[in-house]
Structure 1
Amino acid sequence: MEVKHVVSMVFICCFRALCCKGPPPSRPEYDVVCIGLPGAGKSSLLALLCNEGSHGIGPTTGFSIKAVPFPNAILNVKELGGAENIKKYWSRYYQGSQGVVFVLDSASSDEELESARNELHSALQHPQLCTLPFLILANHQDKPAARTPNQIKKYFELEPLARGKRWILEGSTTNNMVAVKENFILLIRLLEDTDTGLPARI
């Protein structure tokens, strides 16, 4: 009887292991706001991250929301249009954000780059955003006139401005979406560190 009992228990344990695992644990979700001036490439990057086509994408009017899936999390990205008549209302959509994606055109004119610099400075110092992790993408790195991430960091004075904050600055292009996904995964790690209270990894 004891042998039969042991065999029965082994069978039950094996059955549970094979058939009763239950659904996989759900991925955490984070709410992220995506900002940047017109032409920075926000919409194209997000469309490609969602495996959508980027052809025929026009400037975002108002805002759009995309659930962008990654292996370890889902980012609910609220993209805000960058036109002047929309930009002044950005702060109305900041509430509830857990992270920030700022996209800039690294090949833009000096005047446009200065405008992007001013907007990033404002975002980094905004009361609702200043404590959040930032992913800053110097987009259009495939263009001849593109500034490197190091040039952007120096011109934008990021080291002194963002000291003590959690931020990542990387180059990006729609021609290398693998690298873009890796940059977003770095942002997710910062968001996870915020949840666990661990020191930020930059």
Structure 2
Amino acid sequence: MEERGWRRPDRERSFTQKRISHIFSCFRTLCCKGQPPPRPEYDLVCIGLTGSGKTSLLSRLCSEATDNIGPTTGFSIKAVPFQNAILNVKELGGADSIKKYWSRYYQGSQGVVFVLDSASTDEDLEMARTELHSALQHPQLCTLPFLILANHQDKPAARTTQEIKKYFELEPLARGKSWILEGSSVDNIDAVKQSFTQLIELLEDKDQDTGRI
């Protein structure tokens, strides 16, 4: 009995230490995981004619107010956050006086966003077609993933994405390139986010292909 009496405190201390160790282990697991890995960042250039809606779409993606938005003069840069990436989007103004300088801002881009007004006049649509063809064939952009947004789909005169694809001759022109054509509207920003998520997947694929070279 005496022997058992002397050993019991040792067993209790051992049991208590194990419980304390277990509690600290759980605490470390729950509270000491460390910072999550940083999200990758991609630099994009966003182009399109004045009135296509570039600024409004990007502002909504950043949860900014879209009241009193005017045409972009020169360029602006927005960091657009997504769950798995951050897109640093350089938006270029679409006025005639600015378009001729677009190519000066292409360097360093990893992807392209081209926004067009799907409800525009035939004349403006032809101009947008010309600019998209020029961008798709530009030496600094031709190998990059493209997201083409047929914007203003909420307007009665909006052309469908199939009509845009045929009119812009995207199938033959962009053969062998990574591109996405989606309809968009500032009133349906969730669909716009899904389109950008698809672009992020193309950017990730390009990263992996580059890493394998």
TM-score (norm 2): 0.88
- CA deviations on 1:126-165 (whole Å, 9 max, x unpaired) are 0000000000000001111111000000000000000010
- 1:90 equivalent among 99, 102, 117: 102
After superposing on structure 2, the runs of 4+ consecutive aligned residues of structure 1 that deviate more than 6 Å are none
Most deviating of 13-22 and 91-100: 13-22
Map of 1:32 onto structure 2: 44
Map of 1:138 onto structure 2: 150
Map of 1:171 onto structure 2: 183
Q: Secondary structure at the match of 1:135?
A: strand
- CA deviations on 1:82-127 (whole Å, 9 max, x unpaired) are 1111100000000110000000000111111000000000000000
- 2:30 equivalent among 8, 13, 18: 18
Map of 1:57 onto structure 2: 69
Residue type of the partner of 2:95? A
- Quick one: distance in 1 between partners of 2:25 and 2:154? 56
Structure 1 residue 16: Cα displacement: 1.9
Structure 1 residue 13: Cα displacement: 3.0
Structure 1 residue 169: Cα displacement: 0.1
Q: Does 1:42 align with 2:57?
A: no
Map of 1:105 onto structure 2: 117
Residue type of the partner of 2:101? Y
- Quick one: distance in 1 between partners of 2:169 and 2:28? 58
TM-score (norm 1): 0.93
Q: Does 1:183 align with 2:195?
A: yes
- Quick one: distance in 2 between partners of 1:17 and 1:100? 41
Q: How many residues align?
A: 198
Q: Which has the higher helix share?
A: 2
Q: Secondary structure at the match of 2:112?
A: strand
Gaps of at least 5 residues in structure 1 are none
Following superposition of structure 1 onto structure 2, how do residues 184-199 of structure 1 map, counting pairs within 5 Å? 184-197=196-209
Most deviating of 173-182 and 3-12: 3-12
- Quick one: distance in 2 between partners of 1:19 and 1:141? 47
Residue type of the partner of 2:127? S
- 2:133 equivalent among 107, 115, 121: 121
Residue type of the partner of 1:16? R
| Superposition RMSD in Å | 1.6
Structure 1 residue 9: Cα displacement: 5.3
- Quick one: distance in 2 between partners of 1:26 and 1:139? 32
- 1:157 equivalent among 169, 181, 184: 169
